[in-house]
Amino acid sequence: MSDRTPVEYLVLTAGGGASAVPAALAAEVGLEAGQLAALIELVEDRLVLPAASGPRRLVVARLAAALTGPGAPSAVDRCFEAGLRLGAVAGGGRIWVADGVELSDPERDALWRGAYLGAQRPAAPVPEPVGSARNVRERDALSPEHPAPVEGSGASASGRPTFADGSEPPQLTTARAEAAAWVRELAERPANRLGPAEFAREIAAFAASAGRGLAVEVWSLADAEQRGFGAVAAVGGGSSRPPLVVRLSWGDDAAPTAGVLGLVGKGITFDSGGVNLKRDAGELAWMKSDMAAAAAVAAGLTLASAHAEPPTGRRVEAILPLCDNALSGSSMRPGDVIAHPGGETTEIVDTDCEGRLVLGDGISWCRSREYGRILDAGTLTDGGAGLRRTGLWSNDAGLARELAELGDAAADPLWPLPLPYGEEALESRVAGQRNAPMDRPDVGRHAAAFLAEIAGDTPWAHYDIGGTAYMEHPIAGWPEGPTGSATVAIAEAVRAWMRS
């Protein structure tokens, strides 16, 4: 069957039979609605129909049944999952919905994005032979002054889905899908093809091509150390690839500090664990994706900049620490004490808890500059909320509710979790706090507590995408691999800040 064979997508309800097949779809393939319904009941999710105009591929997905438990997938989530399942079979189909089903605008958005991302196949560029012209160019162009992205980046979806009624998805819908696709592409890129310098170039190129009014700076290790980023220097110190910090800024440069939203994203381009070396080969195999949060923050801000007008007195600044956590003679060690930009100190007791260290630098930077709100994202633990919702911790209940509502409405769901008030698992005799507990297993609440201590009284929230950024096994329409989680939720948080 040719890849150019026209594709029709059909979405049916969970318990409804194929009798709800649209008559217009049946007519397209020269059948009565009842005849097409009978074929669907026999063949289930995919079939080829010999229409008069040529063969058509029909791909069918049923909306998952509605559940009522806490955190159960919403109608928007179920539409997104159905879209993923459609796109996974074939890209570029026309979307039909069962007769009698009326989708809201957010549900249509989620269905279209799911179909687009389901058809995407994130993959690494084919490496060039050592010594080739391109290989030499890339080797010699690793400085921040060379913003050209590595060829082959970006979405690879085979055709865009369309709606059978002829309507086009809003520009925001397509931009959301493209931003998440960019994150997925980078998170699947092998670490030998995406170090800190290459990652910085990709961010700069995406901000320039997909954003509007974004200023990009790339700080070298010396620049970062001069600004007090002790964790970035420590975490990146064990690698032959020097760490960098990318700073993105958008909005009113004259905004008061209270009008600035600070974003921070963890960009560990490979995490070996350092001296506390990881032992699980399965986990190590996907540590190339430990930079997914920095990509999500960059993509989220870029997406927001293209679809919102920055008002007077409002600005957003993103701090993205990019580095390897490698093992060598110059690696950080358990027992080391580091300082953050605002003067806070941390005792390192586990070098494999490095993500919270570099996030701590970014949060400390934002707090010391008295920004009005701070949001950070990282792949720190298992996420705390399973594989379908990103765990969310905050020191402000109202902020947590606002962010959760924004994420849920955009099919990028979050689940607020409580900080471990009174647990006191991170006390240190030699520094402000330890980066991990010594007497109990380290989990998401401890990472959040560490970051909350640095955020202090500034309204702050932490997205832990450790459970949602990269799937080790297929789930809810996602195949094994990266998802782009939190990208749209962060974009919506930025847009809300600009409206407030």
DSSP state of 235: H
Q: Is 376 exposed, middle or buried (0-12, 13-18, 19+ CB in 10 A)?
A: buried
Q: Which of 46-50, 123-127, 366-370 has the lowest mean pLDDT?
A: 123-127
What are 293's two structure tokens?
Answer: 């949060």
Task: Write down the pLDDT at residue 416.
Answer: 97
How large is the average pLDDT for residues 113-135?
72
How do residues 93-112 score in pLDDT, each as one tens digit? 999 999 988 999 999 999 99
Task: Write down the pLDDT at residue 332.
Answer: 97
pLDDT score of 141 more than 60:
no
When pLDDT is cut at 50, 70 and 90, the band that residue 2 belongs to is low
When pLDDT is cut at 50, 70 and 90, the band that residue 18 belongs to is low
Residues 6+ apart with CB under 8 A from 215: 248, 249, 250
Task: Write down the pLDDT at residue 124.
Answer: 54
Choose, from 56, 356, 367, 445, the residue flagged as catalytic: 356
Domains with residue ranges and CATH for the chain: 7-119 (no CATH), 179-499 (3.40.630.10)
pLDDT score of 143 more than 50:
no
How large is the average pLDDT for residues 302-324?
96
Of 287, 280, 271, the C-alpha closest to 332 is 271
In this structure, are residues 87 and 116 in contact, taking their beta carbons and an 8 Å threshold?
yes
In this structure, are residues 183 and 154 in contact, taking their beta carbons and an 8 Å threshold?
no
How large is the average pLDDT for residues 476-498?
97
* Percent of the chain residues topping a pLDDT of 70: 92
d(C-alpha 409, C-alpha 413), whole Å: 8
Of 175, 197, 186, 412, the C-alpha closest to 305 is 175
How high does pLDDT run on average in the chain? 91
pLDDT score of 492 more than 90:
yes
Query: Does the active-site annotation cover 176?
Result: no
Choose, from 212, 227, 247, 278, the residue flagged as catalytic: 278
Question: Regarding beta strands 390-394 and 414-417, do their DSSP bridges make them parallel or antiparallel, or are they unpaired?
Answer: parallel
How large is the average pLDDT for residues 274-294?
94
In this structure, are residues 198 and 153 in contact, taking their beta carbons and an 8 Å threshold?
no
Q: Which of 19-28, 123-132, 395-404 has the lowest mean pLDDT?
A: 123-132
How do residues 150-209 score in pLDDT, each as one tens digit? 344 333 344 799 999 999 999 999 999 999 999 999 999 999 999 999 999 999 999 999
Task: Write down the pLDDT at residue 127.
Answer: 58
Task: Write down the pLDDT at residue 45.
Answer: 82
pLDDT score of 268 more than 80:
yes
Task: Write down the pLDDT at residue 139.
Answer: 40
Strand order in the sheet with 46-51: 46-51, 54-62, 7-12, 94-97, 162-163
pLDDT score of 129 more than 70:
no
Task: Write down the pLDDT at residue 5.
Answer: 84
What are 137's two structure tokens?
Answer: 């160019």
Task: Write down the pLDDT at residue 126.
Answer: 56
Task: Write down the pLDDT at residue 155.
Answer: 37
DSSP state of 351: T
When pLDDT is cut at 50, 70 and 90, the band that residue 282 belongs to is confident
d(C-alpha 482, C-alpha 187), whole Å: 6
How do residues 80-97 score in pLDDT, each as one tens digit? 999 999 999 999 999 999
Task: Write down the pLDDT at residue 144.
Answer: 40
What pTM does this model have? 0.93
Task: Write down the pLDDT at residue 44.
Answer: 75
Of 464, 247, 487, the C-alpha closest to 369 is 247
Task: Write down the pLDDT at residue 42.
Answer: 86
pLDDT score of 458 more than 60:
yes
Helix (H) or strand (E) holding 452: helix 444-455
In this structure, are residues 155 and 185 in contact, taking their beta carbons and an 8 Å threshold?
yes
d(C-alpha 152, C-alpha 426), whole Å: 43
Task: Write down the pLDDT at residue 382.
Answer: 83
Task: Write down the pLDDT at residue 260.
Answer: 98
Q: Highest mean pLDDT: which of 143-147, 280-284, 368-372?
A: 368-372
Question: Regarding beta strands 315-325 and 267-271, do their DSSP bridges make them parallel or antiparallel, or are they unpaired?
Answer: parallel
Quote the distance between the C-alpha of residue 127 and its chain's center.
25
In this structure, are residues 486 and 377 in contact, taking their beta carbons and an 8 Å threshold?
yes
